[in-house]
A and B are shown apart, each in its own frame.
Chain A
């Protein structure tokens, strides 16, 4: 729930701006009985616009300290950056950080065009994208989980793909009991779903699910309540819950043992590196914020979002 709200807050910042609702109403010739309704209506809309524009208007009034940072991009990273930004703003009262979502590609484009100071991109750099500095900020891995009572300990990648495509429908085919597999997957747009699809070369349309869930917690509860279920969740969450005594097991994937340590060491394959991108010659305000983002002072925030923090600034792209 909390996660949802946090993300919703991040999203709303972007969306209030693009809805100038008052315009059509004001243009209509208003019948007298409805005139005051339009007034109230207009007031509400203006109030809404006002609050969303707060950072820039405040900046305009003071005029002396234009330290406003714009960060846009991946909705996977946005909640984390939002939290980091809040902490940074507390320590640096002169700085306002505006975090907006819109997807990894928007983050990259905005950073390139200078529309954003920092872009959030939840994948690694591709060919020809070295015109900006790629700075890895955290790792995001996922684990396949089953109930602790399940006799299955290991699945090959092909078996996972077949299970999620609905080609294997009973646990007996993969070394378990004669019970139908309950396939648990995530709703469209979730970052864990993207990692899963990317790694296993699946598309969302191919997946034949029995249960579609939202956040990691719901996946855990579903598996805990159903010995025949299989699900994938963020590796940090799964490890934490298993440690807290939840009856679930992280499945070995072929030869790979899932753990946050393995993700950190780079020896577990179902993982991706979350990046921020920035122009090579960024302003001091920007690089100060990036330093803060990479410092151990935010590792607790990184972990609270179930990502794996990196130990230090180790840019893997052609950093500027």
Chain B
């Protein structure tokens, strides 16, 4: 009786899966295709040039992507450093310390936070956070501001993923731990945390991916000066901001060079996905 339905479902899911796989491949191919003229004519200067002035053409222009790649990496790393402990604490509170009704409300609030569009964060960063940071050290628009805004943006994503992972682990092990008479901190740090390691890794990778790819908010608060940052207060330009800033006006090799930025980003995200698969893919067995 279930067979026709099964067949339909099987077909539909196969088509859907194939479609998404094809779309990813198409995107990669398209970006590669558009980037090719610049890769061919500029080549290694994407790494060796120290500044970024692509509008002047292939000969006179400079095409250094390293400062922007460094800025993107620094931003993502800073975001993880800030967001990881905050997300962990948030999830621990929600799962183990908050009374059930409060936890429900809190979870909804965090979900709401995850749904706020990035321009809103960016705008808030520009009009509130940038002037605040400027009081510490001008100009205000800086790597630090970017990290703060991004951390706030990815915090809910990571917190919710970790919370869900804690939920699964708690279901399996909470009763056992309680029966052994373990204290709550012991239970959390010795049992639940190791058991939800993969969920944690997934959440962090998702967060890092979003931090790498975020554009509007970063464009508004980071200052967009192409340089390798010496301090947290230096303005920086990320790869995404570079594309958004210049794509509308770029022609020929300038445009292709921006697609090279996109290609580098794609590569970075691929590395993240692979890393997530390696460290977060398998649920560790408690017995081992």
Residues of A within 8 A of B (CB): 1, 3-4, 7-8, 11, 15, 19, 21, 36-37, 40-41, 44, 75, 101-103, 179-180, 182, 187-191, 204-205, 209-214, 218, 221-222, 224-226, 228-229
User: Helix, strand, loop or mixed for chain A's interface?
Assistant: mixed
Determine if B219 and A189 form an interchain contact, defined as CB atoms under 8 angstroms apart: no
* Number of inter-chain CB pairs below 8 Å: 116
The residue of chain B having its C-beta at the shortest distance from the C-beta of A185 within the complex is B225
Interface bits B233-249 vs A (CB < 8 Å: 1, else 0): 00101000000111111
A214 vs B26: C-alpha distance in the bound complex, in angstroms? 29
Residues of B within 8 A of A (CB): 18-19, 22, 25-26, 29-30, 33-34, 51-56, 62, 119, 126-127, 130-131, 134, 138-141, 219-220, 223-226, 235, 237, 244-251, 254-255
Determine if A209 and B26 form an interchain contact, defined as CB atoms under 8 angstroms apart: no
Cβ 8 A contact of B54, one of A15, A21, A41, A188: A188
Determine if B22 and A102 form an interchain contact, defined as CB atoms under 8 angstroms apart: no
With A41-B26, A210-B139 already in contact, 7 other A-B pairs whose C-beta atoms are closer than 8 Å: A37-B22, A188-B246, A190-B249, A210-B141, A214-B219, A226-B134, A226-B139
- Given the known inter-chain contacts A8-B247, A101-B251, A187-B246, please indicate yes or no for A211 contacting B33, CB distance below 8 A: no
Q: A188 — which chain B residues lie within 8 A by C-beta? A: 52-55, 246, 249, 254
A11 vs B254: C-alpha distance in the bound complex, in angstroms? 13
Q: B33 — which chain A residues lie within 8 A by C-beta? A: 19, 21
The residue of chain B having its C-beta at the shortest distance from the C-beta of A1 within the complex is B119
Q: A44 — which chain B residues lie within 8 A by C-beta? A: 26
Q: A212 — which chain B residues lie within 8 A by C-beta? A: 223-226, 235, 237, 245
A81 vs B84: C-alpha distance in the bound complex, in angstroms? 50
Q: A226 — which chain B residues lie within 8 A by C-beta? A: 130-131, 134, 138-140
Determine if B244 and A21 form an interchain contact, defined as CB atoms under 8 angstroms apart: no
30 contacts between A and B (CB under 8 A): A3-B248, A4-B244, A11-B255, A15-B255, A21-B29, A36-B18, A75-B249, A102-B251, A103-B251, A180-B139, A187-B245, A187-B249, A188-B53, A188-B54, A189-B254, A191-B249, A204-B56, A209-B225, A210-B138, A210-B139, A210-B235, A211-B139, A211-B235, A212-B235, A214-B219, A225-B131, A225-B140, A226-B134, A228-B134, A228-B139
